[in-house]
Structures are given as C-alpha cells and as structure tokens.
Amino acid sequence: MSEEEVFADFAARVPLAGAVVAEIGGAFPVALLHEHGVARWYSVDPNRAAQTDPSGVREVLAAGAEDMPLPDASVDAVFSCNALQFVDIGPSLLQAARVLRPGGVLYAHFGPIWSAVDGHQLEYVRYQGRDLTFWDDTLLPPWSHLLYTREELRALLRTGVEDGLADAVVGHVHDSTTVNRAFFEDYVAAALASGLDWIEVATSDHLDYEIAPPAYDAALTRPVDLAALAAEVSARRGAPTRLGVRDVLMVLRKPNY
C-alpha cells in the first residue's frame, strides 16, 4: 500500500478524533492530522530534529522506538508506516505496549523485510553525492543479501560497477545498522512476546519494480534455488525460516485489563 492508503486504513480502524497517537518513524503532515481531529501526535524518530508544530498537535521526539520518551499508558494508538524494518523489533514492540492505554491499537505497515528478495533495502547510502535507492539502483541481484558472503558479493559486484560503489553496497548489506535484518518469524515472535493481542497480521510478496542488475560475471553468480536457500538460512538460524515475505501489515491491541 502507498503511504496514503496506509494512513486511510489506519484511520478506518482507529477513531482519531481527539486521539493521542505515537508514530514510530516519519512525521505525517500536520494538515492531515488536523483533518482527522487528532489531539496530539508524537513522531518518535531519531533521525529528525526535535520540534513542535505551531498548532501544538504534532511533536517530533528525537528518540528511537526502542526507548520512547512517553509515559506509561499515555497514547490511544501507535502508528508506523514503513519503519519497523529499521528498528530493534523486540524492544520497540515492548515500548509500544508500555505506552498504549488499555484497548489501544498498534498499527504498522512495513517492508521490504530481510525475508524478501530485496530485503537488503539498499537505501540511505550516499555515493559520489547521490543517494542510492533500491528501486532505482538495482545493483544487487535477487536474494544476494542471503546468497553471498561479504567477499563473494564484493568480487561479484566489482565485475559490473566501480570498486568504490561495490564496496559501499557491500558495506550496506553486511555492516549497516540501517536495517534490522529481521526475518518474518522474528516479527511474529516479537509480537507474541509483546503482551499485545493479535488482531491481524498479513503479508505480501508483491514486487512493484523490476530488479535489473548490471551484467555481472556469470562465473561468480550463484543460481537461486529458493527452497535450498530457505533450508540453508533455516540451518544457519537454527529455526524454520520462510523466504518470500516482503511487506507486512501488523495490527495488535493492548488488553483491556
């Protein structure tokens, strides 16, 4: 779903008139919040400057979702659009459970997650004055974040792009703290451990762009056998792991007691 569709779905599920909401990541437009009669909207995002809009409705809290600077049981809903793949999911859901009032709802739509064909989410990487994006800069072959070791990936990419760019991409895949590298099963486990009730969890494997990487050396390219790769990842993790989940909708509710 687009950001507009995500917000519309959230607003259809949660009465926003007079509500206090904590947003994990991002800062939805103030005009939209006024349109829905939101009383207070806290945007919890460590990558934004702390500020409050002149109307006093939206306040940006420059903090991570893992340590929300909000009192216990202080919000009616926690909302997140395209951000949970960037946070430490276990502590973040526990924080959401803490700040929600009884009966309050957590609504999150996010992806691509690490279980996806493009789970590396090449983004927030700057090279030679330009920001790379995974949907425009399809430098990584499908499943390469799971198929190749660091040196295998570096050797492969250097056959199609300049060394500096290859190194920047490899650094993102293997070392960046931007994405959390959580598989779908990790999100499920975190949700179950959060103390929140499960309302809905839905997934999609839809890819809305074409992955068209450069012509890399075929001798260094590993064939993709998804069943074999899933078995390899499962063995590496010590737990059954399904591959293919790209986007996730998660709706949880704090018990009314």
Q: What digits encode the pLDDT tens for the residues 206-238?
A: 999 999 999 999 999 999 999 999 999 999 999
Q: Cα(5)–Cα(24) distance, rounded to whole angstroms?
A: 17
pLDDT digits (tens, 9 = 90+) for 3-55: 889 999 999 999 999 999 999 998 788 999 999 999 999 999 999 999 999 99
Determine whether 163 is exposed, middle or buried from the number of CB atoms within 10 Å of its CB (0-12, 13-18, 19+): exposed
Q: Which two tokens stand for residue 143?
A: 């499943």
Share of the chain above pLDDT 70, in %: 100
Q: What is the mean pLDDT of residues 168-195?
A: 97
Eight-class DSSP state of 66? G
| Rounded Cα gap, residues 161 and 151, in angstroms | 15
What whole-number distance in Å separates Cα of residue 81 and Cα of residue 235? 32
pLDDT at 205 over 90: yes
- Contact assessment for residue 45 and residue 26, using Cβ atoms and an 8 Å cutoff: yes
Q: Where are the alpha helices (DSSP H) in the chain?
A: 3-13, 30-35, 89-99, 144-147, 150-157, 163-175, 184-193, 226-237
Torsion on CA atoms 159, 161, 167, 170, rounded to nearest 10: -80
Classify 43 as helix, strand or coil: strand
Torsion sign over Cα 88, 89, 94, 98: positive
Cis preceding linkage at 112, omega within 30: yes
The answer to whether 65 and 92 have CB atoms below 8 angstroms apart is yes
| The pLDDT value given to residue 111 | 97
Packing angle, helices 89-99 and 184-193, rounded to 10: 30
Residue pointed to by tokens 């250097």: 158
Judge whether 24 and 48 are in contact, CB under 8 Å: no
As beta bridge partners, residue 257 has none
pLDDT of residue 10: 97
- Tell me the pLDDT tens digit for each residue of 62-105: 999 999 999 999 999 999 999 999 999 999 999 999 999 999 99
Identify the pLDDT of residue 181: 97
pLDDT in the model for residue 257: 77
Residues in Cβ contact with 194 at an 8 Å cutoff, skipping those fewer than 6 apart = 93, 94, 96, 97, 252
8 A C-beta contact, residue 105 and residue 205: no
pLDDT 10s digits, 151-163: 999 999 999 999 9
**Which SS3 state, helix, strand or coil, does residue 94 take?**
helix
Mean pLDDT of the chain: 96
For residue 191, the Cα-to-chain-centroid distance in whole angstroms is: 15
